Structure 1
Amino acid sequence: MLLRLTILAVSVFVAGSHAAKLDNVFEWNELSFSWPDEKTKEEAIQKGRYVPENNLPLGLDRWNDKLFVTVPRWKNGVASTLNYIDLKTSNKTPSLIPYPDWVSNTLPEREKGPEESTIISTFRVNVDACDRLWVMDTGLADIWGEAKQHSTPSILIYDLKTDKLLKRYVLQSTDLKEDSFFANIVVDVDPTKCEEAFAYIPDLGGYGVVVYSLADNDSWRIKHNFFHFDPLNGDFNVGGINFQWTDGVFGLALGKVQPNGYRTMYFHPLAGIREFSVSTEVLRNKTMATGNNAYYAFKLEGNRGEKTQSSASDLDEKTNVLFLTQLNKDGVACWNVDKPLNPENLGTVAQDSEGLIFTNDLKIDAERNLWILSDKMPTFLYKGLQPNETNYRIFKVKIDEAISGTPCTA
């Protein structure tokens, strides 16, 4: 009888669980790049400008046939920090193509500063509804080593139709704190009013959010208690590596436009398991956002449950479903924002103790594909990856398939 009940319980668990079938689009043991020629590559290796094992993919976004992939300069020897993959390729292990070109991704010599078009190191990028690519450049190279600050953190905006740099905005001194670290950017724009865009940039080290107005060419910093990390949820166990992080606000996602013309911005600290929100009506208003009366405009949405720390999120406007990476669970979760946020309403989209070790970034493209990048980053930072193993993967899945059978369906 006991055996029968056990089998029944297991059957119920399997029937109630869900894991979408992900398409493993690309994978690498080590990243390779599309060099101008073999001689240039060999010279870069000899001079230490390219150390293959030090190149880790971290962020992604898609525009037409380009899948952008960032490679932050964690260590020396990163060949190019902003790159793309031509999606017309049939190669499952493609070489990354520097964007917009090699020159823009070349580190400046120490005795001279970077050019206007130089990208030092970027973690995440955002393709907007006006065919532009927004890049948050930290300006910091060799982060895990000497931590050389080549330039002030800046926003770079590219016209994707021409691959030309439209604008470089250098963050103001009032935007920065001593421990500031800007590793994400989310763009809020009406495609009929492209010049009125706003960018929201979380400061995971300084516990704030910087808002940039393209129309005003101005930025302002917002502070709030909800931007801080949760001291009870800073312990991680990923890929056999145990570590503790204090990263604050990191994951940002925008809801659909409300009747008043504004969106809800959902956000959370990386070291934390709660989700928060605020209307962009507050963020866009410099006077309101930086004053003392906006505190209660920020809301607690709920608790996702134990070990649900997340590095990235994105929202599908058609279904109102928010997707979140799950670092301690080797997977991806979903939550329908029309429902209360609690562990019961948090669905499991995918879970894989090998293929999804450290799901670092995810994005939803214009065709409603969910793209997921996993990169074993804790092993890369604290132990070192094995070059004979598959270390980096990019998956995709259709949104409707991803949420089928989960609590995230309406």
Structure 2
Amino acid sequence: MRAVSLVVALAVVTVCQAATPQLRFAWKEMDFTWDSPEARENAIKEKRYIPENNLPLGLAHWRNKMFVSVPRWKAGVASTLNYIDLDGPQDQPLKPYPSFKDNFVSDSATELPSNSSLISVFRVYVDACDRLWMVDTGLADILGNGNQVTGPSIVIFDLKTDQLIHRYSCKTGDLKEDSFFANIIVDVTKDTCDDAYAYIPDLGGYGVVVYSLKQDDSWRISHHYFHFEPLAGTYNVSGIEFQWTDGVFALSLSEPREDGYRTMFFHAFSSTKEFCVSTELLRNYNSIDKNEAFHDFKLLGDRGQNTQSAASSYDPKTQVLFYTQVNRDGVACWNTNKPYTIDNNALLFSDPVLYEFPNDLKVDDEGVLWVLVDKLPRFIYRTLDPNIINYSIYSINTTEAIQGTACQ
């Protein structure tokens, strides 16, 4: 058995060396495009900008822009929603989006300065209609005093004009006591821009909120499969052991079927299992039998021990689901045309230094996989060394990434 394990391990190493992502961006600390050196200096003096407290978490690609979110985990975050130029320097400062004014909000604020102001954004999503979607949690200094400036809301920007399209405040019925909305995906095509649906996982309240743009309404869905696994709540990243109880977090959509609906793949963060459900159920949840609908959520399978994943993204070109592997310092994949087994879930690349805590990944419309690495456990439980690279973004073509693996 040991000999077999060794052969498998060597095969994984060979694949990792063959499919090497390209380092596109890297930072020791995050900085921003300030109006002047004086403005930056004053912000530091006033503790409105504390460089070491700005950690990138989410990303999304649109044309020559790479959007990067910086949640207000701690005090002193200068801007929560930003972008960088795709053809710019590796360590370029972040450009606040849509403006610095909309993002430079005090940690002690008691209300939104304007409708386009943003407090704390985790994941972002670019849809087929050139719009940028996100959930603004409304919570500042999350790990500190925890100031709930405003309730969570869905925010949509027109990327062609950089203008706010709509802000939708989540309803009381969408929320539970421990609700936390850190991700969003959008179900839409270029021909159905006015009839988009957003699916928002509640990692703390163990549910999914569905939002209809056309109806401008939302509803909450509950299911056992949205909860975390008690035996999968322990993590060990770079020697740091910690326990998280995060429920459903990673959502991904297949291409539309003949009936127009898609398959939504999902899993809890603290879990090693993958599930799926048709978006037909999600869209029409209020008009169906809830008891019968329970069985329409399907277990696909188990990835194996220590395969907790923070994010996933489906590639329609290869029909492969890519996902992060935080305990294994890398990225893995599954070909959706194959059974969901351990053997069919391939670890594509892994390195405890280069990919320490891959937090987010996205497949763009050009078939490129983007991965953001940010050492989040060090940021939360210890400290980051400002003299080394702490945050990075890698890219690789999806076809190249899976070549020679079980995902091909």
Both proteins in one fold, TM over 0.5: yes
What's the CA shift for 1:291?
A: 3.2
Equivalent residue of 1:253, what SS?
A: strand
- Alignment match, 1:369: 368
Contact 2:48–2:106 (CA under 8 A) maintained in structure 1: no
Q: Aligned partners of 2:71 and 2:57: how far apart in 1?
A: 7
Contact 1:221–1:290 (CA under 8 A) maintained in structure 2: no
Indicate the RMSD between aligned Cα atoms, in angstroms. Answer: 1.6
Structure 2 unpaired stretches of 5+: none
Question: 2:59 aligned with 1:60, yes or no?
Answer: yes
Change (3 A) 1:232 1:288: farther
Deviations 1:288-314 (A, max 9, x none): 468333101100000011110000000
- Alignment match, 1:69: 68
Change (3 A) 1:229 1:288: farther
- Alignment match, 1:18: 15
Q: Aligned partners of 2:221 and 2:182: how far apart in 1?
A: 16
What's the CA shift for 1:389?
A: 1.4
Q: Aligned partners of 2:203 and 2:168: how far apart in 1?
A: 20
- Alignment match, 2:166: 167
Change (3 A) 1:340 1:111: closer
Equivalent residue of 2:228, what SS?
A: coil
TM-score, L = length of structure 2: 0.96
Q: Aligned partners of 2:75 and 2:56: how far apart in 1?
A: 14
In the alignment, residue 124 of structure 2 is paired with which amino acid? V
Q: Aligned partners of 2:6 and 2:245: how far apart in 1?
A: 37
What's the CA shift for 1:14?
A: 2.8
Q: Aligned partners of 2:314 and 2:288: how far apart in 1?
A: 23
Question: 2:76 aligned with 1:80, yes or no?
Answer: no
- Alignment match, 1:194: 193
Equivalent residue of 2:346, what SS?
A: strand
Contact 1:288–1:294 (CA under 8 A) maintained in structure 2: no
What's the CA shift for 1:348?
A: 1.4
Deviations 1:60-91 (A, max 9, x none): 000000000000000000010000001121x1
Q: Aligned partners of 1:326 and 1:15: how far apart in 2?
A: 18
- Alignment match, 2:31: 32
Change (3 A) 1:288 1:51: same
Contact 1:85–1:94 (CA under 8 A) maintained in structure 2: yes
In the alignment, residue 83 of structure 1 is paired with which amino acid? N
Q: Aligned partners of 1:293 and 1:10: how far apart in 2?
A: 46
Structure 1 unpaired stretches of 5+: none
- Alignment match, 2:178: 179
- Alignment match, 2:149: 150
* % same residue: 54
What's the CA shift for 1:258?
A: 0.6
Residues 11-410 of structure 1: pairs in structure 2 closer than 5 A: 13-15=9-11, 17-19=14-16, 20-89=19-88, 91-108=89-106, 110=108, 112-114=110-112, 115-288=114-287, 291-409=290-408
What's the CA shift for 1:45?
A: 0.3
Q: Aligned partners of 1:283 and 1:290: how far apart in 2?
A: 12
Equivalent residue of 1:103, what SS?
A: helix
Q: Aligned partners of 1:73 and 1:289: how far apart in 2?
A: 39
Equivalent residue of 1:75, what SS?
A: coil
In the alignment, residue 259 of structure 2 is paired with which amino acid? N
Change (3 A) 1:148 1:275: same
Change (3 A) 1:11 1:341: closer
In the alignment, residue 103 of structure 1 is paired with which amino acid? K
Contact 1:282–1:288 (CA under 8 A) maintained in structure 2: no
Change (3 A) 1:9 1:236: closer
Change (3 A) 1:15 1:209: closer
What's the CA shift for 1:318?
A: 1.6
Q: Aligned partners of 1:105 and 1:9: how far apart in 2?
A: 51
Deviations 1:294-349 (A, max 9, x none): 10110000001111000000000121100010010000000001111111000111
Equivalent residue of 1:381, what SS?
A: helix
What's the CA shift for 1:109?
A: 7.3
Contact 2:73–2:140 (CA under 8 A) maintained in structure 1: yes
Change (3 A) 1:195 1:12: closer
Equivalent residue of 1:39, what SS?
A: helix
Q: Aligned partners of 1:284 and 1:248: how far apart in 2?
A: 21
Q: Aligned partners of 1:103 and 1:291: how far apart in 2?
A: 45
Contact 1:263–1:280 (CA under 8 A) maintained in structure 2: yes
What's the CA shift for 1:92?
A: 1.2
Q: Aligned partners of 1:135 and 1:281: how far apart in 2?
A: 22
